[in-house]
Chains A and B, each alone.
Chain A
Amino acid sequence: MSEHLYKYLRPEAFPTPFCAGCGHGILMNAILRAVDELQLDFNKIVFVSGIGCGAWIPSPHFAADTLHTLHGRPIAYATGVKLFNPDLKVVVISGDGDLAAIGGNHLIHAARRNIELTVICANNSIYGMTGGQVSPTTPKYAKTMTTSKGNPEEPFDLCKLTVACGARYVSRYTVYHIKPLINSIKKAMTTKGFAFVDVVSPCPTQFGRRNKQPTLFEMFNDLKARSIRHETAKALKKDELTGKIVIGEFNE
């Protein structure tokens, strides 16, 4: 971690509670770099998060105002903060289960309202903190603690969902694509409207281990192999995209 970024951290909160090899640590790094490159006033940012591993990214690691809320509700809390004090920059960092399952209603309405929030989804396609249950973004056929014979359900495409709801800026990157991810977070944080960044972040412990990819490096290689740029994906048919991770910006 670069020395100049230490000022954003609470050192007593480290080492982080994340598992060895958790993608969320990489996302944490990316978010802080984005804030630093934008030279945002850290005292005027409020980080709001729900419940789950992703929600522990800002709380308590960031030396800023942090609001660690109820499961599924960070966007609702963030709405209140932003509406009452629009001078604050409000950034929601939470997981796929938190934002898209229990919190799905708040996600679609905030996007519909186009309220100026930056929502970063730490998307590891699993409920990690509670032991590895299936989530709305778990790929079909994946093994989880509640789909031991393989997930029978189709996952959400959270980017298509938020675009359809009216979000102003929507993107997806994986933590492997670290530079474009940092740039995308910067764009999201400076969007005058609702910004959603779907960050594919590997969970070796709860997801990878049960799906033949027990290390971060193996999951990284898988992300690299399956990622396809949005512009390229547009030319492909639906069945050619099965299993692919489409990265890029979706409604520019």
Chain B
Amino acid sequence: MEKIKLNRKWCKGCGLCIEICPKNVYDRENKVSTKGFKEIIIKNPDVCNQCQLCELLCPDLAITIEKTKKDAKVNK
């Protein structure tokens, strides 16, 4: 089970996850995709501390964080 799931069909690339993530997990592609924007990618999945801010704040409901860490800040 992936710890971070990004639903690219639902994501519109607003980039809030990039700004809001305390661990710099997310970034953008370099090129504009066929959807017309530079799509969001998961750059550093291993540094994710599962705070779930991205999941809670994603306006497109496109992110799912699987809570596996015991010491993760709980948001479920």
Contact = CB atoms under 8 A, between A and B. Distances in A.
- A and B together in one complex: yes
Interface of A: 1-3, 9, 14-16, 18-26, 28-30, 33, 175-176, 178-179, 215-217, 220
Interface of B: 7, 9-16, 19-20, 37, 55-64, 75-76
B60 to A, nearest CB: 6
A20 B56 contact: no
A29 B19 contact: no
Contacts of B37: 20
Given A179-B75, A217-B15, A217-B20, A2 B55 contact: yes
B64 A24 contact: no
Interface centre among A15, A18, A19 (most CB of B within 10 A): A15
Interface centre among B7, B14, B61 (most CB of A within 10 A): B61
Contacts of A18: 59-60
B59 A15 contact: no
A21 B59 contact: yes
A26 B55 contact: no
A20 B76 CA distance: 25
B57 A26 contact: yes
A224 B59 CA distance: 17
A1 B57 contact: no
A1 B55 contact: yes
Contact of A20 (B7, B14, B63, B75): B14
A24 B59 contact: yes
Nearest to B16: A216
A23 B14 CA distance: 11
Given A14-B10, A217-B16, A26 B76 contact: no
Contacts of A176: 57
